[in-house]
Structure 1
Amino acid sequence: MDKQLYMNGEMVRGEGNVRRILNPSSESTVATVYEASVKQVEMAIQAARDAFNDSSWKEDIEERTNFLLRIADTLAERREEFAVLETENTGKPIREARLDVEDSVNCLRYYAKLVKDQQIEETDQWDGSTSRIKNVPYGVTALIVPWNFPLLLGIWKIAPALAAGNTIVFKPSELTPLTMIKLAELMKKCALPDGVFNLVIGDGQTVGQTLVTSEEVDKISFTGGTKTGRTINEQCARTFKRVSLELGGKSPLIVWDDANIDQAVEWTIFGAFFNQGEVCVASSRILVHENMYKPFIKKLIDKTKKIQLGNPLKEETEMGPLISKEHLEKIESFIQLGKEEGATLEVGGERIGQKGFYLTPIIFTDVTLEMAIVQEEIFGPFCVIQSFSSEEEAIKLANGTKFGLAAGILSKDLARCERLADRIQAGTIWINSYHTPFVNAPWGGFKQSGIGRELGPQGLAAYSEPKHINLTPKLDKLGWYRF
């Protein structure tokens, strides 16, 4: 099927680049995608603008709520189909893909309820007037997501944007558009008004740039790398376009010597290597108390060697391939850089199999805070381990990068965990767990990890702005002037 763009309520064929979408596990072609031309992106933006201006979508909360619930129910009914497609496109293990679909359904239902329960704030003022404060949608929103969680991160933006009353032009990663194409087909079946949601596929230089610079787009929401996010922010600043950015991370996991060592090792592996480490909040920096450092490393290496890599569609697989050959080679370049910097490669970094972009999980020791492998987001199954001796040193190391997306603390001493959590500069901090996002809690970063928040009430607020209406019941003489 070659009609893969969704514009003004219709599936249409792209007139831009033709791209083969590869299965990272087998390197076989999953689909051939016809990407959007600049003209088609502009047409999609105009369709979103017309739908916002001319339809009842922005005013009718019941219509929006009912649609979100319909699409949630339909997605739930087809969860296995979406999970398999996500696995084939990204290489993530099937059980992880199933969680992505389940979390997407929950997100749609959460925002349907949240917007329905939203109240207009009214205040009686000292002069007898009434101030009414209501949240209104921005208008046309352009939503741009990366390749590691194509469906889930898409829904994190789509659900609140629609709930708030906006219209959407959505750009998935050019590497992983398949579940979004399938979702667009569901949008039509679930009777979404024409033009409210539009899907355009293509790379950042063509499709992304057109969205970011368009004067008809009111809000950009981007998840991806810090370098690209900085460029988007600079471009949006020229016209004061609203922008939300969820960017890179180099998140620390602090392991105290009072933690159960076997449980701490398991959580460390999960934090660092879940989804092949292709996660913005991956705990790629492991900080271990000096009293536990040596036995911890030994157990961590032993357990890491036992992670089952293989066909991601098999239930027993615990780690799949990386997204592409280019990304695999990027991670290999960081392995070489780590060795050149004087760090010790304890395990990993080996390609396996004749086909697929597989790389065994990587652990470096003997690192210092100044090393590039400690400072830069590598975005793969790659972690570094440092020791610390005190709370002050742990805080210094944890806060020692330009990023501030997430952090974790493993310890029996909850009072100490709370002290550390108060001082760590990160948007999400897990104590005695890691990775789990909660749809009703905000998600986003400090420092160069981004601007704004997704999920929770803050996620809905990111797609609307407050309007103040002041009502005086009767027009009276002002009496300010002497006439």
Structure 2
Amino acid sequence: MIDLKEQTRLSLARPFQLLIDGRWTDVESGEALDVVNPADGGIIARIPAGGGADIDRAVIAARRAFESGPWPSMIPGERSRMLWRIADLIEARKEEFAELETLDNGKPIMMSTWVDVPASVAALRYWAGWCTKIAGETRAVDLPGEFLAMTLREPVGVVGLITPWNFPLMSAVSKLGPALAAGCTIILKPAEQTSLTALRLGEVILEAGVPPGVVNIVTGLGAVAGAALAEHGDVDKISFTGSTAVGKSLIGAARGNLKRLTLELGGKSPTIILPDADLKRAIPAAANSIFLNSGQICVAGSRLYVARERFDEVMEGLVKAAAKFRLGPGLDPATTMGPLVSDTQRRRVMDHIDSARGEGASIITGGNRVGDQGYFVDPTIICNVTPQMRVAREEIFGPVLVATPVDDPDELAALANDTEYGLSASIWTRDISAAYRLARKIRAGTITINTGSVAGPNLPFGGFKQSGWGRENGADGIESFTELKTVVTAL
């Protein structure tokens, strides 16, 4: 176990408040939520339990900042410098952010240090570059006379950002970056389980000089603060990452003012290993795809399809790979798999495993809760699963892999598509032509060939079917925070 840095201890010791209109303020109700360390179930802090009144104050501040504040009309280069400044400040405090993320979420400290924080910094710098590149076009007018016609990209307005608990800091900056670059003003509602880095990010945003009201942060329950934000009539757009069930509820909440929605939702992503695949690469990649971050990844390769002639070999390799993961508290540098984020999530994962047992599936490794403290579940591989079983159809969001042998390669596309989701897929083969043809048949937003998950702020990300609406990242991501205006002038 490592000792916390002094700044991390100070961060945890201070009273937490909401960030509204450039000031830290108490919650209207005076209520608070416990922040629980998933490694041992202990309470490490308390955060404000924001409600409808707090959301209303934040929206009023964001609307005022958008309509009469300097941010939307600020020259693009100045917005860019502020985003870059936020990135610099996070980087200067990378150890503190990493420790807060690990304490809050449970993930291994090495992952927070070398993945979450650096990726967040890189994303902000990427979006800083976009500030000067948002532009419209000139268009021809096919009518008698002489015209100048142009399109303009303008900020959509006040946006609500609702982020998940699996990658708290990364998710926050991946939404804040394009929204700020586009000139929007923001209310950020982080997941109630993991709000510590969002609140620390608020301090950094103020230090960077972002004007009051541009970024407001309201912590609280999704069913209370999140719902109030989604339903608010003066919010122009919601960008949400989370479960498909909650995403569907947001559609109804948006009806009042037809606010724009970007929904990055669930997945049940297939990993496909063809007969000629390089198993020395495919097996560890398949294991990491489902076991990293304790399987709490929306693109986790939770369904595995393997050519039958290689199935036993792949299973043997995966069992060995699963055994190499060392479970423990995230702050222990030796830990490679931390706990699940909460007792609720642990019980949900175990319910799926128990359901598979009851339906006759075979647990070939794992399948157990680990330890008396914390929310640990060991890496689990399940075989002899029928397509109708819950573990084969529902998103589990834990370290649970469902493996199936396949006799006919022509069935792979149908098997991969036999889900209500369509977020990602991974194909392993030496035959690139076969991989490409299969990729064209699979209905998913991101497909990788001979590699695990690959993501970045420049790569469009989102899903088909019930995996969501719209795309984040890249040009598509920033355009989702704009409105397109046409201006025609007769000469």
- TM-score (norm. length: structure 1): 0.96
Query: Does the 8 Å CA contact 2:77/2:131 hold for their aligned counterparts?
Result: no
Q: Bigger CA drift: 134-143 or 119-128?
A: 119-128
Name segments (4+ residues, structure 1) moved above 6 Å.
none
Q: Which amino acid is 1:5 matched to?
A: L
1:11 aligns with 2:11: no
Following superposition, the deviation at residue 315 of structure 1 comes to 2.6
- Could you say which residue in structure 2 is the equivalent of 1:29? 43
Query: Does the 8 Å CA contact 2:326/2:335 hold for their aligned counterparts?
Result: yes
Query: Does the 8 Å CA contact 2:18/2:24 hold for their aligned counterparts?
Result: yes
Alignment match of 1:359 (pick from 373, 377, 386): 377
Map 1:272-421 to 2 at 5 A.
272-421=290-439
Alignment match of 2:208 (pick from 190, 198, 211): 190
Query: Does the 8 Å CA contact 2:159/2:187 hold for their aligned counterparts?
Result: yes
Distance 1:317 1:456 in 2: 34
Q: Which amino acid is 1:183 matched to?
A: L
Q: Deviations over 1:316-374 (max 9, x none)?
A: 22100111111111111111110122211111122223321111011100112121110
Q: Which runs of 5+ in 1 are unaligned?
A: 474-483
Q: Deviations over 1:137-172 (max 9, x none)?
A: 111100001111111011111000111010000100
Alignment match of 2:99 (pick from 84, 87, 108): 84
Give aligned-pair identity as a percent: 38
1:222 aligns with 2:240: yes
Distance 1:95 1:421 in 2: 33
1:101 aligns with 2:117: yes
Distance 2:96 2:444 in 1: 36
Following superposition, the deviation at residue 303 of structure 1 comes to 2.0
Q: Helix, strand or coil: the match of 2:369?
A: coil
Alignment match of 1:144 (pick from 137, 159, 162): 162
Query: Does the 8 Å CA contact 1:57/1:63 hold for their aligned counterparts?
Result: no
Q: Helix, strand or coil: the match of 1:39?
A: helix
Following superposition, the deviation at residue 59 of structure 1 comes to 1.9
Q: Which amino acid is 2:23 matched to?
A: E
1:428 aligns with 2:446: yes
Number of residue-to-residue matches in the alignment? 473
Query: Does the 8 Å CA contact 2:34/2:46 hold for their aligned counterparts?
Result: yes
Q: Bigger CA drift: 235-244 or 3-12?
A: 235-244
- TM-score (norm. length: structure 2): 0.94
Distance 2:231 2:89 in 1: 34
Q: Which amino acid is 1:111 matched to?
A: W
Distance 2:171 2:54 in 1: 24
Q: Which amino acid is 1:265 matched to?
A: I
Query: Does the 8 Å CA contact 1:138/1:463 hold for their aligned counterparts?
Result: yes
Query: Does the 8 Å CA contact 2:266/2:421 hold for their aligned counterparts?
Result: yes
Indicate the RMSD between aligned Cα atoms, in angstroms. 1.2
Query: Does the 8 Å CA contact 2:152/2:485 hold for their aligned counterparts?
Result: yes
- Could you say which residue in structure 1 is the equivalent of 2:475? 457
- Could you say which residue in structure 1 is the equivalent of 2:150? 132
Query: Does the 8 Å CA contact 1:2/1:34 hold for their aligned counterparts?
Result: no
Q: Deviations over 1:158-216 (max 9, x none)?
A: 00011101000010011100000000001111111000000001112210111111111
